[in-house]
Amino acid sequence: MRSTPTYERAGVRRQVERRSSRPRSTFAPGSHRKCIDLWGSFERCARELPRDALCLADERVLELHPHVPRALGRTAIIAVPAREQTKSMTQLTRLANAAPASTRAVVVIGGGTVGDLGTVLAHLIRRGVPLIHVPTTLLAAVDSSVGGKGAVHASWIKNAWGVFHYPHAAWLCPELWETLGDDQRRQGHIEAFKMDLCLDRAALKRWAKGPPQDLIGRARALKTRVCARDPYDSGGIRRVLNFGHTFGHGFESVTRFRLAHGDAVALGMLHALDLGGAPKGLVRDVEAVLARLGAPPRSKLDALLRSPGLYDAIAGDKKGASRRGATMVLLKAPGRAHVRWVEWSRA
């Protein structure tokens, strides 16, 4: 197995963007915009901190990286726990009430959970203020900090209420990923593999020996191109990014989020391959890559499919879904994803 990737560093893979990542005065909340990726240390990126910004930060990140609050100086910081239960209307209301009246931008420092919450918060404060993501997990770096989506849960239905609020910039600071554990790395690897598998015919070859070295930059570029063509997920190519997510989100919900997102998506990918009648060779190759990444074994899938409330969770989570079936992303070959209605009685 290939060693753990040494993720991209500023000055090695590419130079920091010359354009400023500070938001300009003209800003249309919710509108599609190309995110400015700023690579470098957090101290370097923090020089681009907007005036009157509010920083929403994962409390654990602040503990592990004390240089982060130091670099932010006197900027207002609200620390939150990075738990799925944090993504609630109750927490969102608390944060909105705690935000200083002078807030003119939101900087989110954390993984996907904190990023989702901060995205909705930025959309609501003053009817929308500029947003900057600082992803501190690989999953957030390759996926959730790109694409403009943010949502909170309704009871145990994942991402029931959400918005589109595209970030102005992302600060990609490799030192913030150095404290991640193997489990956290696995979640990002699986999501990056899913994206590559859906969009590139050479994906299986690229991942045959383990995660490629350039997975963060590649995943961000792939998703950025897809979102530019279908910015509001309105039935175009962006739907293919939901491969593995229809059942994956359902698995997360019925386990009350004890099953991590990447692991749930891995099992959802396998089930989607089964439902779509994918060639046996493709199923075998995908299983081999997922096993190499450390994803849960297929044996866990059968038990999850028998979980009470699974299909109710899917119906509540996905557009184009009901208790009878759902519009699902299926795969015939790498880079050849397609969408089809699948009825559970025929599954």
Residue in 68, 112, 120, 122 with CA at minimum distance from that of residue 89: 120
Residue in 33, 7, 8 with CA at minimum distance from that of residue 21: 33
CA distance 338 to 60: 40
CATH for 182-346, among 1.20.1090.10, 2.60.220.10, 3.40.50.970, 3.40.50.1000? 1.20.1090.10
Domain locations in the chain as residue ranges: 36-177, 182-346
Helix pair angle (245-254, 261-275), 10° resolution: 130
Q: What is the pLDDT of residues 12-30, one digit of tens each?
A: 344 444 455 666 555 678 8
- Other Cβ atoms within 10 Å of 329 Cβ, number: 22
Q: What is the pLDDT of residues 143-176, one digit of tens each?
A: 999 999 999 998 777 888 999 999 999 999 999 9
In our burial notation (b when 16+ CB lie closer than 10 A, e otherwise), range 230-255 reads bbebeeebbbbbbbbbbbbbbbbbbe
Contact status, residue 113 vs residue 83, Cβ threshold 8 Å: yes
| 36-177 shares its CATH topology with 182-346 | no
Q: Which CATH class is domain 36-177?
A: alpha beta
Compute mean pLDDT per 10 residues along the chain, 347 residues long, and list them: 53 44 67 93 96 97 98 97 92 95 96 96 94 97 96 85 95 97 97 96 95 94 95 91 95 93 97 96 97 96 94 83 90 95 75
